[in-house]
């Protein structure tokens, strides 16, 4: 019985490309009493794995919170796995307005204490006494009421690239930070103002609306299904968007466009930009906004220090990270003295530029390829790249593809190589291979063999 992933992200991406089938990105949540979260988790994993569903899901005694990528042809079968549980019958699935076949590359279902880290003691108030749900048209109408205060219950790195016009956008890094701040800021308006809240998919507002009603706010409203559902409704019903910019999402896309307005800047040069990235340095992983020019110049790094670090031998990089929380254990969200054009807190509704029309974002296979290994080092003077062979074998005469976020996709014919320090025509798993390249490689680059 398989209860864990057996493929790497790279292998999964290759299978998705080779299948060439449309996948849907979606999210959903439900608060319910789950007696045995571990069994619930295992049952879901088994069923979803059979449907080639990928994504990140948290389950707890209080319910489920999921962001998923599902093959379009398996969408109804996936829905059936949910509706087998009474508390998820008729559940709303927030389907993204933009799809990317690589939005998720692993299936992760984790048992947590809570499905959203809100820092609240649920025993101290009625979590079912929630605010009034508003659809897109109703939400737009209440925003026009001068008695309305609209609050963004997302974090600063989310609201910076897009938000509802006139919204209060707290300068916080976590949801739990925003609750007491907003309560204090609006304490004089509990009786006579409409407190209208929104978030990405609606789950944060479910708990927040109940909390604020418990705090004495009389008129509490929330955007049904969050920004994701709002974007779908305004498109289907041809409604004016009161949201401006891009909606941050928690998958590989890091955002989906709601309007063509760019309201944020590249954190390094100040050019209008709303594309998030994570610093290439494995000991940093800072989340920040970076334009294509800075991405090329800084090799996906947030600072000169990180740029220097990624060019050190891997063993030296590991030494620098020793004893520190790095990688997936830390997710620094865009706060650094190196980012000269970072904005958070009170944000402008002014559009700085208009985004170019996106190309078809659906990932389609361009060349058939198999993953062979990864970059280990680059020696600038002789223009030599060092790679570790992890899968299959490599032969002189092979057509290879070196691919990475900064390098792009570079194809070359391998006419000569050194294997473990000696010239050889074949390299096998575990071998260290060097060969001359007409371009620089990075530690994030992958080595593929192109199949004819």
Edge-to-edge strand ranges of the sheet holding 63-71: 94-95, 23-31, 63-71, 54-60, 107-111
Q: What is the pLDDT of residue 324?
A: 66
CA 11 to CA 25: how far, in whole Å? 19
Task: Match 């996906």 to its residue by tokens.
Answer: 300
412 or 98: which carries more pLDDT confidence?
412
Alpha helices in 196-243 (DSSP H): 203-214, 226-237
448 contacts 391 by C-beta, under 8 angstroms: no
Going by pLDDT thresholds of 50, 70 and 90, the confidence category of residue 423 is very high
pLDDT mean over 292-315: 92
Mean pLDDT score of the chain, rounded to an integer? 90
pLDDT mean over 3-23: 80
Q: Name the residue among 252, 254, 234, 255 with its Cα closest to residue 243.
A: 234
Residue 87: CB atoms within 10 Å? 14
- pLDDT tens column, 265-295: 999 999 999 999 999 988 888 999 999 999 9
Task: Check whether 386 has a pLDDT greater than 70.
Answer: yes
Percent of the chain whose predicted confidence (pLDDT) is above 90: 69
- pLDDT tens column, 85-118: 999 999 999 999 887 888 999 999 999 999 998 8
Cα dist. 181→28, 55, 117, 278, 347 in Å? 27, 32, 16, 28, 17
Task: Check whether 360 has a pLDDT greater than 50.
Answer: no
Q: Is 321 helix (H, G, I), strand (E, B) or coil?
A: helix
Q: What is the pLDDT of residue 452?
A: 66
Task: Check whether 440 has a pLDDT greater than 90.
Answer: no
- Residue 168 DSSP class: B
Q: Which of 199, 279, 284, 291 is catalytic?
A: 199
Going by pLDDT thresholds of 50, 70 and 90, the confidence category of residue 327 is very low
Q: What is the pLDDT of residue 217?
A: 96
Tokens of 29: 């949540």
Q: What is the pLDDT of residue 30?
A: 95
Going by pLDDT thresholds of 50, 70 and 90, the confidence category of residue 127 is confident
Question: What DSSP string describes 75-142?
Answer: HHHHHHHHHTSGGGTT---EE-SS--TTS--SEEEEE-S-SS-----GGGS-TT---EEE-HHHHHHH
Q: Is 395 helix (H, G, I), strand (E, B) or coil?
A: strand
Annotation marks residue 306 as catalytic: no
- pLDDT tens column, 199-213: 999 999 999 999 999
Going by pLDDT thresholds of 50, 70 and 90, the confidence category of residue 131 is very high
pLDDT mean over 164-168: 96
Q: Please, what is the Cα angle at 172 between 190 and 179, to 5 degrees?
A: 30
CA 425 to CA 394: how far, in whole Å? 8
Going by pLDDT thresholds of 50, 70 and 90, the confidence category of residue 330 is very low
pLDDT mean over 129-155: 97
Task: Check whether 390 has a pLDDT greater than 50.
Answer: yes
pLDDT mean over 172-192: 92
E strand or H helix at 46: helix 37-50
Q: Is 280 helix (H, G, I), strand (E, B) or coil?
A: coil
CA 387 to CA 446: how far, in whole Å? 9
- HSE, side-chain direction, 13 A CA sphere, residue 76: 1
Q: Name the residue among 40, 45, 42, 43 with its Cα closest to residue 55.
A: 45
The pTM score is 0.76
């Amino acid at each position: 019985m398989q209860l864990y992933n057996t493929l790497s992200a790279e292998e999964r991406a290759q299978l998705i490309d080779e299948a060439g089938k449309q996948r849907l990105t979606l999210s959903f949540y439900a608060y319910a009493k789950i007696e045995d979260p571990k069994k619930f988790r295992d049952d879901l994993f088994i069923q979803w794995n059979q449907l080639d569903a990928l994504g990140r899901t948290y389950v707890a005694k209080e319910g489920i919170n999921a962001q998923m990528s599902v093959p379009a042809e398996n969408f109804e079968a996936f829905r059936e796995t949910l509706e087998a549980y009474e508390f998820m019958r008729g559940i709303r699935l927030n389907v993204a307005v933009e799809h990317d076949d690589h939005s998720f590359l692993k299936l992760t279902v984790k048992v947590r204490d809570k499905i959203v880290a809100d820092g609240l003691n649920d025993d101290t108030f009625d979590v079912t006494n929630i605010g009034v749900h508003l659809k897109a048209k109703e939400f737009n109408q209440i925003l026009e009421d001068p008695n309305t205060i609209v609050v963004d219950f997302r974090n600063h790195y989310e609201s910076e690239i897009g938000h509802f016009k006139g919204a209060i956008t707290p300068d916080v890094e976590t949801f739990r930070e925003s609750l007491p701040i907003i309560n204090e800021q609006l304490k004089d308006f509990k009786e006579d103002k409409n407190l209208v809240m929104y978030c990405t998919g609606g789950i944060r507002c479910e708990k927040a609306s109940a909390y604020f009603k418990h705090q004495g706010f009389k008129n509490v409203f929330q955007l049904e299904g969050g920004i994701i559902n709002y974007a779908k409704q305004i498109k289907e019903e041809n409604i004016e968007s009161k949201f401006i910019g891009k909606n941050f999402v928690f998958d590989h896309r890091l955002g989906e466009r709601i309007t063509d307005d760019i309201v944020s800047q590249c954190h390094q040069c100040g050019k209008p930009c709303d594309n998030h990235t994570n610093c290439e340095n494995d000991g940093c992983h800072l989340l920040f906004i970076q334009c294509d020019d800075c991405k090329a110049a800084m090799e996906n790094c947030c600072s000169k220090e990180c740029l220097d670090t990624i060019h050190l031998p891997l063993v030296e990089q590991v030494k620098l990270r020793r004893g520190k929380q790095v990688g997936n254990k830390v997710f620094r969200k865009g706060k650094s003295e190196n980012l000269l054009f970072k904005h958070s807190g009170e944000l402008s509704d002014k559009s700085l530029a208009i985004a170019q029309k996106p190309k078809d974002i659906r990932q389609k296979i361009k060349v058939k390829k198999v993953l062979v290994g990864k970059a280990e080092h680059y020696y600038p003077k002789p223009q030599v790249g060092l790679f570790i062979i992890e899968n299959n074998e490599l032969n002189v005469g092979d057509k290879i593809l070196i691919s990475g976020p900064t390098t792009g996709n570079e194809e070359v014919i391998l006419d000569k190589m050194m294997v473990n320090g000696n010239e050889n025509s074949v390299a096998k798993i575990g071998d260290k291979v060097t060969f001359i390249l007409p371009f620089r490689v990075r530690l994030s680059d992958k080595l593929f063999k192109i199949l004819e």
